[in-house]
Amino acid sequence: MKSPHRVTIIGGGFAGLNCAQSLANDDRFSVTLIDQQNHHLFQPLLYQVATASLSAVDIARSLRAVLGKAQNVSVILDKVTDIACDKNEIITEHGSHSYDSLVIATGARTSYFGKDEWAKHTYGLKNLEDSRQIRHQVLNALERAERCDDIEEQKRLMSVAIIGGGPTGVELAGAFSDLVRRALKTDYRRIDLKDFRIVLIQSGERILKSFSEDHSAYTLERLQELGVEVILGPRVDEVKEGYLHLNDGQEIQAETLIWAAGVGASPITECLECPRDRGGRIEVEPSLAVPGHPNIFAAGDLVSLTDPDGKTVPGLAPAAMQMGKHVAKVLKEDLRLQKTRYADRYLTLRPAYRYKDKGIMAIIGKNAAVAQTGKMKLKGFPAWLAWLFIHLAFLIGFRNKLAVLLSWAFSYLFDKPAARVFSICKEDAKGEPNSGAK
């Protein structure tokens, strides 16, 4: 019997996991999924871990558990460091793996638009460790403010500045407001959490640029009602420890600086010789194959593509899931065509990926969200309800769904977030600013 086609997938996020699941238990394929983390992470809820509404385990699920029943799929915990295309091999921190077909689905990373030195003064939000650090930083800053006698220092400790007014920035700002003004409001004796300052900085004319103007305006109004200071227009041009300078001369002192302004493709894409856009995303062929490498595919956030219908594929979870499934479809089609009279031109017959737009949504705070899909636009409570249901539906694993549902119900009814516990490490005890920032 012919040995199965070896597919290696790098990354167990939305794209990689959907690709592996679509090939699961198909004995024509032997699949190896490699991820540097042992879990699949539901990134859309990361901000809730950062703001103490959910615990990290609620939004992540072990990749082995998800793929445990897929007999032809092996999971390997390792970091891919290089791709040797000439040998059909990938190099990892702990060894190497040969493949017949390779799927790169390593997602995006936080991008500082060439100012990488800003990373050490700000927190990004891409993985569980980032969200844990933000939560730790903010809760610890409140503890330090509570025992501080200097009013100016207290103000600084009780300030968060978020750079970037896209969905992540908006959701973080709204959730911090809910945290300090509702959930924690009676917990401290020496500081008044009404004084907690949340600043959201967006260089353009409006927040939530990818939404309608009406939704942007509604979101701005709701955030202002929640006590968030929104600065529209100027750009951040200098970042130091606990300090931001904007190009209109404004200065902001804040103990916690969060960078939610940009993403670029994961660095592994640099191992390949292929066309890339300014963000480093691979400009793939319509089938999602990497140009010049017919047996290598890319899927998810690291892809730059305008589909045959003229739609630019966004960096969103539904697009990544669809792309992961599409690559599996192409791999199956390749095998089928190779047994027919079209074997010599199967590469030209690969189906093109078409993005099915599922819409966009962002939550602003309790009972407030915006959502749009096609011509339908929702805002306020209906959008908030839709947001809750859709996020629950897409969360992987029954245990996670139940845990998140219970946490949300508890927070909604009693205004008490679930995940307020953090532990003190030596640097925090010294009270060093931004001890956790990377």
Ligand X SMILES: Cc1cc2nc3c(=O)[nH]c(=O)nc-3n(C[C@H](O)[C@H](O)[C@H](O)COP(=O)(O)OP(=O)(O)OC[C@H]3O[C@@H](n4cnc5c(N)ncnc54)[C@H](O)[C@@H]3O)c2cc1C
Q: Which stretch binds ligand X (CB under 6 A): 13-21, 223-231, 244-252, 414-422?
A: 13-21
Q: In 3D, which of 258, 177, 364 has the Cα closest to residue 185?
A: 177
Q: Which stretch binds ligand X (CB under 6 A): 39-47, 115-123, 142-150, 367-375?
A: 39-47
Q: Helix H segments across 192-293?
A: 213-225
d(CA 96, CA 11): 15
Q: Please, what is the minimum distance in Å from the beta carbon of residue 248 to ligand X?
A: 28
Pick from 31, 46, 67, 289 the residue near ligand X by CB under 6 A: 46
Q: Helix H segments across 94-208?
A: 128-146, 151-157, 167-178
Nearer to ligand X, 81 or 253 (CB): 81
Pick from 7, 33, 34, 284 the residue near ligand X by CB under 6 A: 34
Q: Helix H segments across 286-414?
A: 317-337, 381-394, 398-414
Nearer to ligand X, 171 or 285 (CB): 171
- 3-state secondary structure (DSSP) of residue 271: helix
Pick from 5, 7, 8, 14 the residue near ligand X by CB under 6 A: 14
Residue 315 found at the interface with ligand X (CB under 6 A): yes
Site for ligand X in 100-119 (CB under 6 A): 105-107
d(CA 57, CA 75): 19
Question: Within 10 Å of residue 415's Cβ, how many Cβ atoms?
Answer: 16
Pick from 7, 13, 22, 337 the residue near ligand X by CB under 6 A: 13
- 17's enclosing H/E stretch is helix 14-23
d(CA 246, CA 223): 21
Pseudo-torsion of CA 427, 428, 434, 437, nearest 10°? 70
Pick from 7, 9, 15, 60 the residue near ligand X by CB under 6 A: 15
Identify the residue whose tokens are 């749009």: 372
Residue 264 found at the interface with ligand X (CB under 6 A): no
Give the CB-nearest residue to ligand X. Answer: 13
171 is known as an active-site residue:
yes
Residue 255 found at the interface with ligand X (CB under 6 A): no
Q: Please, what is the minimum distance in Å from the beta carbon of residue 245 to ligand X?
A: 25
- 3-state secondary structure (DSSP) of residue 248: coil
The dihedrals phi and psi of 259, each to the nearest 5 degrees, come to -100, 110
The dihedrals phi and psi of 170, each to the nearest 5 degrees, come to -65, -45
Q: Which stretch binds ligand X (CB under 6 A): 29-37, 340-348, 404-412, 430-438?
A: 29-37
Residue 49 found at the interface with ligand X (CB under 6 A): no
The size of the interface with ligand X (CB under 6 A), counted in residues, is: 33
Residues present in the chain in total: 438
Residue 22 found at the interface with ligand X (CB under 6 A): no
d(CA 47, CA 166): 13
d(CA 255, CA 138): 8
Assess contact for 338 and 143: CB atoms under 8 A. no
Pick from 60, 80, 258, 331 the residue near ligand X by CB under 6 A: 80
Query: Which residue out of 171, 238, 251, 255 is catalytically annotated?
Result: 171
Q: Which stretch binds ligand X (CB under 6 A): 34-42, 156-164, 325-333, 377-385?
A: 34-42
- 3-state secondary structure (DSSP) of residue 409: helix
Residue 43 found at the interface with ligand X (CB under 6 A): yes
Q: Please, what is the minimum distance in Å from the beta carbon of residue 373 to ligand X?
A: 12
Question: Within 10 Å of residue 4's Cβ, how many Cβ atoms?
Answer: 15
Pick from 317, 327, 331, 395 the residue near ligand X by CB under 6 A: 317
Q: Please, what is the minimum distance in Å from the beta carbon of residue 202 to ligand X?
A: 16
Question: Within 10 Å of residue 247's Cβ, how many Cβ atoms?
Answer: 12
Pick from 33, 305, 320, 383 the residue near ligand X by CB under 6 A: 320
Q: State the residues that interact with ligand X by CB under 6 A.
A: 10-16, 34-37, 43-44, 46-47, 79-80, 105-107, 125-126, 167-168, 266, 268, 300-301, 315-318, 320
- What amino acid positions are annotated as catalytic residues? 171
